[in-house]
Amino acid sequence: MDSGKAVHRRKPDIPVIRPRASDENQQVSAKRLELSMVIRLLEDPLTADLKERHLFVLKKLLKRNQIGFLLKELKGIAKILNICAEKVKDHPEYVPILCEALNICSLPFLKEKASDELTYAQDVIEFLSHMGCLMRVSDAEVRQQIVASVKSFYSCVAPKQLLDGTDPFFKTKPRTFSSDNRFSRLSLRLQPASPGYRLQLLERSDLPQTLLLSMAALENQPAIRLQLLQTLQILSSSSDLNCVLILNARGAEMICLHMNEPDPSGQVLFRSSEILWNLLERGNKEEVTAQLSSMECVLSLKEAFFTSLGCSDHQLTNELLVIVALIAENPNSLLIESSFAKDLVVLATFPECKTVNPLVHNLNFNFSTEDLKMKKLLLNLLVLLSGDFAALQLFEEERVIPALLTLMKPPTASSERQSGSGRWSSAQQEELQLQALTILATIAPLMLEEYVSCQGIACLLLLLDWCIRKDALFGHSSHGTGGRGSKTAQMFHCIRVLRSVTSSCVDSVNQDLCDQGVINQLLGILMQMEVSPDEEDVITLEIKLDIQLVLSLLCESDMHRKELFGSEGVEMVLHFLRKGSDRFYSGLGHNKLILSTVDCVWSCIVGCYTTEDFFLAKEGVSVLLDLLSSSPGCVHCNILATLLELCDNPNALPHVVSWRDGRGQTAPGLLLQLWREEEEELQVSRNQHGGIADPQRPLLSLHQQHDTKLSFPADVPSQAVLELSENLRAKIYSILCKIGFYDLPGLSAKHYVTLSIVRRYLDFKVGEVWEEISRELSLDGVRPISPDEEALSTICKITEDTARRVAAEQNSILEQREKEELGEEELMYAEMKSHWRQQELMAKSWDSYVSRTSNYEILKEVKAQRESTRPKPKREGTAVHPTEHFIGQVIAAESTDAQGSAGLKLMLTRAPIKTAGQDAVGATTQDPEYFSTVSVKD
C-alpha cells in the first residue's frame, strides 16, 4: 500500500453520542500515530524526495490543527517545523507551509485536560525556543510571520494576565467544534490554555535571546528589522525575566550598535531607545551601563544623539541624554576619550557663553519645555563628569564656571519684564538658576582657583543679599517653597555653595569671605529667620544648620574671626541652646541643629577669652549644663567636650560648681550619674552599689573582654587607647580634675562610690594598657627579659592593689552611710516613742479633769486634799525669803481644725514654776491642775 495513503488512513467514524472510554483512547492513539507517521514520512530516506506527497500531508495536518495546536503535540510539531526549515533551502515550496504553521502558532494552544498545562510545560518551552530558531530561514515571509506570531502572544492578553497568567474575571468555557470538521470527533471538548500560560513559559525559553541575535541577519530587511524591534520592545516592557534574558545575550550593546543603521521609516532609533529604557528600568541597570560603556557603543550613542539633535522636538534627544547620564556614572565609561563629553560640555554652556563651535550654529533652540529639559540634563552631566580630573580641565577650557555664574545671577528688573521666544521665561530662568547653584556646590571646590578668578565669591554674596530682600515678582519655580515671592530655595542653595567652598579649608578663600563681611551677614540672616513668623520646615532648618557650619569653619582656627563673631554670635548661640532638646526627635532636623550649635560654641567661642567671658556672663555654662541634663545620650560627647574646653578658663569653674537643675542636682552629681550610665551601657563589671566587682579589671568593658584573646598588628590602635575616644569617661574625668575631687556639693553615698573610681581612672587606664601589652606579648609568643617581665608583673600587681584599696574605700563609704541611716532610724523611733508617751499623759490628765467635773464627791475630795496641803498664812515680821523658781516641763496644747483627738496638738515646753507660798492669791482663785488651755474637739 502507498505510504501516503497509510498516513491518511482513518478508522471508521465513532458515534458522537455517548462515546466509550476505550473508543476515546483508541482515537488518541490513532492521532498520535498519524503525527508520528508524518514525521517518519519526512525523515525516511525512502520518502525524503516525495515533495508533493509531503506538501499534501502537511496541508492536511495544518488543516486539522487550524484552530490551534494541542499541547501534547507540540513536541512533534516542532520537529516537523525544523525539518521543513531545512528543506526550504532547496525547496521554496515549503515556505507557505511554514508560514501557515507559524500563523497557527499565534492562536492559543489547546489542552484536553487541566493538567496538560503542567504536564507539557517543558514541551511548550522547547517549542517556543524552536520558533526563535526558525529565524535562521532567510525567507523574509517566514521571518515576518515569526515576528508577527510572537507579537500576537501579547495582543490578546490583558496587563494583569501578563503578570499572573490567569484571568480572575472571566472563565473560559469548554470549546467544541462543529460536526462538519472531519477531525472534530477526535476531541469532543478542548480548552485553550490560560491567557498568560504561554507568556510565562516564554520567559523560560530562549526565544527572546534568539530574536535578539537574529538582528544581525536583518541588515538587508529593514521592514522586518523594525517589526523585530517592536517585538523586542514589547518583550522588554512586559517582563523582568525577558530583560534578564536579553541582557544575558548582551542585548543592550547589540541594540545600541544597530540603532544608527539606515532606516527609511525613521522609527529604528526611537524603538531602540525605548528598548534601552526598558532594560534600564526592568533589568539590571549596572549590567546595562557596563555594556553601553564600550567605545563602540559610546560612539554609536554620540551619532544617535546628534542625529536627534537636528529634529525640532528634542524628546528623543532627552531620552538619549538620560542614558548617557547613566553611562557617565560608570567610572569606566569612555565619554571623555571619545570626545563626546567635550561636545556635551559645549552644549551645556550654550547660550550663556558665546562660542564658535559648529555644533551650536545649526542648533534648533527655541526655549521650549523640551529645550529646558535638555538644558537641565546637560547641566546635570557636568556633575557626573566632575569626578574625572580630565573633565575638570575640559570644564576650564569650555568656561563652565562663567556659564554657571551667569545662570545663578539674580534677574534684573528689565529682564523680568521682557518676554518672547528668544529667551527663557521667569519660571525657566529660576529653575536653571537653582540647578546652577546645585552644580556650583559640587564643582566650585574642585575648581577653586577658577571660581575665585571669576569673582565667584562676590557673585555669591550678592545673590545672598538679593535673597534677603523681598521681591513680589519672583518665586515662580516649583523648587521654591512659600509661594510667589519666596526665595527660600535660592537661599538654601546659595548657603550650600558657601558651605562647600568654605569646607575646602583654603585660608585665602576664607579670608576673602571674612573681609567681605560674611560673618555678620550670616548672623543677621540667621536671627532674621528666627524672628520670622513662618513655621519651621526642613528647608529652613537646613539653612540654619548650614549657616552655623559655615561660621564654625570660618572661625575654628582664627582668633580674629572669633572676635568678629563677638557678642552677636554669642547671643545667637545662646538663643538656639535655650531651645533645648524637646524637638530632638521631631524628624525635621532639630537634632542636627543642636549638634551644629554646640559645635559653633566650640569653634567660634572657645579659645577667645573676650568671647568666652561674654558667654560666661550670659550664663552660657549653665545653659550647656541644662542641655546636658535634658538631651539624649548621642549629644553628651559633644557637650562634654565643649565644657571641658571652657573649663580651661578659670572664670568658668565657679559657674560649673554653682549650677543646679530643677531637681536640685549639682554639676558633679550630674557628671557622676553620666559616668554610671556610661558604664552600664559598656557593661563594665560592677556590684549592686556601683563598686568595683573585679579588681583585676576595674575599667574593662564587655567588648574589651571579648578581645582579650586577640592580637592586633602594630599599626592598629590599642583597644585600651581607642576606648578613650569612644565613650564619655575620659571627658568626665578631665572635667572633674579641673573642678577637684573634694568638697563637692550635693553628693550622696552612691556618688562618692563612683567618685572613688573616677579619681583613680588614670591609674587604672595606665595599668590596663600595660596589662594589654603583657597579654599581647604572651599571645605572640614573646618572652620579655627577666627585669622587664618583673616590671610588667609589678605594674599589674600595683594596679590590682589600687583597685582593691578603692573597693575597700567604697565598702567603708557604704558602711558609714549604713551607720548614719541606722542612727537616723533610732532618732526617729525615739521621737515616735516620746510622742506616744505624751499622748498617754494627756489622755490621763483629761480623764482626771473629766472625773472631777462630772463627780461632785471626787471634786470635794480633791478640794479637801488641797486645803490640807495649803500652807498657813505668814506672820508679820517673818523674814521674807527670796522668790525661788523651778524649771519644769509642762505640756502645751493647741487646737487645730481636725475632728476628735486629732484636733489636739501637744508640745513639751519649759516654764518657770513658783514655790507653794509665792502667790497665795493666785492659788485660791485658780486651780493649778485645771488646764484651761486644753480643748478637745469631738
Q: What is the pLDDT of residue 925?
A: 39
Q: Are 194 and 166 in contact (CB under 8 A)?
A: yes
Q: What is the 3-state secondary structure (H, E, C) of 272-338?
A: HHHHHHHHHHHCCHHHHHHHHCCHHHHHHHHHHHHHHHCCCCCHHHHHHHHHHHHHHCCCCCCCCCC
Percent of the chain scored above 90 by pLDDT? 45
The whole model's pTM is what?
A: 0.73
The CA distance from 482 to 475, in Å, is 8
Query: Which of these, 189, 207, 190, lies nearest to 198 by C-alpha position?
Result: 207
Q: What is the pLDDT of residue 905?
A: 54
Q: Cβ neighbours of residue 534 under 8 Å, at least 6 residues apart?
A: 482, 540
Q: What is the pLDDT of residue 719?
A: 75
Q: What is the 3-state secondary structure (H, E, C) of 468-532?
A: HCCCCCCCCCCCCCCCCCCCHHHHHHHHHHHHHHHCCCCHHHHHHHHHCCHHHHHHHHHHHHHCC
Q: DSSP for 801-822, please give it.
A: HHHHHHHHHHHHHHHHHHHHHH
What's the pLDDT tens digit per position in 114-126? 899 999 999 999 9
Q: Are 123 and 163 in contact (CB under 8 A)?
A: no
Grid cell listed for 437:
547653584
CA 521 to chain centre: 33
DSSP percent split of the chain into helix, strand, coil, nearest 5: 65, 5, 35
The CA distance from 423 to 417, in Å, is 12
Q: What is the pLDDT of residue 682?
A: 87
Q: What is the pLDDT of residue 593?
A: 92
As separate numbers, helices (DSSP H) first and strands (DSSP E) second, the chain gives: 45, 4
Q: What is the pLDDT of residue 896?
A: 56
Give the chain's residues under pLDDT 50.
Answer: 1-33, 158-187, 413-414, 416-419, 472, 476-483, 878-881, 883-890, 900, 910-911, 913-938
Angle between helices 559-577 and 538-555 (to 10 degrees): 150
Q: What is the pLDDT of residue 916?
A: 43
Q: What is the pLDDT of residue 205?
A: 92
Grid cell listed for 317:
534627544
What's the pLDDT tens digit per position in 242-254? 999 999 999 999 9
CA 268 to chain centre: 42
Q: Cβ neighbours of residue 642 under 8 Å, at least 6 residues apart?
A: 598, 601, 602, 606, 624
Q: Are 191 and 108 in contact (CB under 8 A)?
A: no
Place of cell 533652540: 365
The CA distance from 469 to 487, in Å, is 9
Q: What is the pLDDT of residue 702?
A: 81
Q: Cβ neighbours of residue 5 under 8 Å, at least 6 residues apart?
A: none
Q: What is the pLDDT of residue 580?
A: 85
How far are the Cα atoms of 829, 889, 893 from residue 841, in angstroms, in the given order?
Answer: 19, 13, 12
Quote the DSSP letter at residue 649.
S
CA 35 to chain centre: 63
Query: Which of these, 580, 609, 612, lies nearest to 593 by C-alpha position?
Result: 580
